[in-house]
Each structure stands twice: as structure tokens, then as C-alpha cells.
């Protein structure tokens, strides 16, 4: 039996590795294009970004090895009570093993504890595996984006009540 996966808050020391994981995942799926977090300068400074009120970012690790991360953020222009699930990416070896479910559950519980009523997602059609996970968790498709995230490269929008 392998050691359990630990979900913890991001630390400053995690910034370089989680930025590399995010960009490598986008490259892997051919989604490393303008208008995505690939080119977002904040991807290199997630610890600092997630110090904002209503934000939280979590790292999934096993035996001290970072597997990926994901967080919630009160993105600009979102209706009151809605946060965005952001920058959720996992290394290939962490997929289809429950790691994404652990991260997503932690994000949803934290969002509810912070007083959010719903969670919003912007993603890309290339990320079919992630979309199928969101569907299983009860996220519903929207016809257009909410808010003003600045990620004009995303064309799939989803929402879930918490």
C-alpha cells in the first residue's frame, strides 16, 4: 500500500515547481496558448496571489513529492457568492488515482467555509479528462463566461452550487 496523499496549503517554496507543473500540463494537452494561465504572470507567484481574501490554494503531495495543486479565487466580476476553481493541474502519475477528487473536495469544502454558494470553472476543451471529473462532481455547463478573469482562451464554462 502506498503512502497517502497529503493536501496542504501552498508555501512560498512551492511557487517554481507548481508553475512548472501547470505549464507542463498545458503543453501536454496542446493548451499552452495565449489567453490561458500558461502566459499569466501570476502563475509564477501563486503563494503571493492566494493571500487575497476569499482565496486558497492547495498542494497535493505524496512522500514529499508535489503531484499538483488547485485553488479557489474570488475572480474579478463574478457575482457575489461565487468563487472560481483555478489552476488545478496534476502530474500524469497523479491522475486517475483520486488525487483530483481530493483536491476538488478540499476546494469545495474551503469555499463553503468561506461563505461561497457556488463554484465557477473556466477551462479548455483540450482538457477532456478534467472536464469529465467536473461533470462527475455535478458541475453544469454555461453558455457564456461569468466575470472578467482575463482568460479569453477558455471556451468551456461550468458552475456548481455548493
pLDDT 10s digits, 29-81: 887 877 778 778 889 999 999 999 999 999 999 998 999 999 999 988 899 99
**Residue 80 belongs to what domain range?**
6-161
Residue 139 CB-density burial (10 A; 0-12 exposed, 13-18 middle, 19+ buried): buried
Mean pLDDT of 77-96: 91
Dist CA 131 CA 97 (whole Å): 16
Q: Decide if 1 is inside a domain.
A: no
Other Cβ atoms less than 10 A from the Cβ of 59: the count is 22
pLDDT at residue number 152: 67
- Closest CA relative to residue 91, chosen from 76, 103, 108: 103
Q: Decide if 117 is inside a domain.
A: yes
Q: Which helix (H) or strand (E) holds 97?
A: none
**Could you tell me whether strands 140-141 and 118-123 are parallel, antiparallel, or unpaired per DSSP bridges?**
unpaired
Mean pLDDT of 6-27: 95
Dist CA 107 CA 23 (whole Å): 21
Q: Which helix (H) or strand (E) holds 59?
A: strand 56-62
Q: Decide if 52 is inside a domain.
A: yes
| Contact status, residue 43 vs residue 24, Cβ threshold 8 Å | no
- CATH number for the domain harbouring residue 49: 3.40.630.30
pLDDT at residue number 128: 82
Q: The cell 479565487 sits on which residue?
A: 73
Dist CA 117 CA 43 (whole Å): 26
Cell of 23: 505549464
Q: Decide if 57 is inside a domain.
A: yes
pLDDT 10s digits, 99-153: 989 999 999 999 999 999 999 999 888 888 888 889 999 999 999 988 776 666 6
Residue 15 reports pLDDT greater than 90: yes
State the total domains in the chain. Answer: 1
pLDDT at residue number 49: 94
Residue 88 reports pLDDT greater than 80: yes
Q: Decide if 138 is inside a domain.
A: yes
| Contact status, residue 100 vs residue 90, Cβ threshold 8 Å | yes
Q: Decide if 82 is inside a domain.
A: yes
Cell of 17: 515547481
pLDDT at residue number 14: 97
Amino acid at each position: 500500500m502506498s503512502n497517502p496523499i497529503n493536501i496542504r496549503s501552498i508555501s512560498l517554496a512551492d511557487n517554481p515547481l507548481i508553475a512548472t507543473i501547470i505549464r507542463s500540463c498545458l503543453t501536454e494537452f496542446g493548451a499552452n496558448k495565449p489567453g490561458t494561465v500558461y502566459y499569466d504572470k501570476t502563475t509564477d507567484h501563486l503563494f503571493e496571489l492566494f493571500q487575497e481574501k476569499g482565496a486558497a490554494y492547495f498542494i497535493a503531495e505524496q512522500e514529499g513529492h508535489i503531484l499538483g495543486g488547485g485553488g479557489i479565487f474570488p475572480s474579478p466580476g463574478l457575482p457575489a457568492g461565487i468563487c472560481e476553481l483555478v489552476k488545478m493541474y496534476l502530474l500524469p502519475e497523479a491522475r486517475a488515482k483520486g488525487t483530483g477528487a481530493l483536491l476538488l473536495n478540499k476546494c469545495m469544502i474551503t469555499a463553503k467555509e468561506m461563505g461561497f454558494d457556488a463554484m465557477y470553472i473556466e477551462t479548455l476543451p483540450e482538457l477532456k479528462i478534467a472536464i469529465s471529473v467536473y461533470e462527475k462532481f455535478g458541475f453544469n455547463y454555461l453558455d457564456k463566461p461569468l466575470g472578467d478573469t482575463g482568460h479569453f482562451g477558455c471556451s468551456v464554462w461550468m458552475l456548481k452550487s455548493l
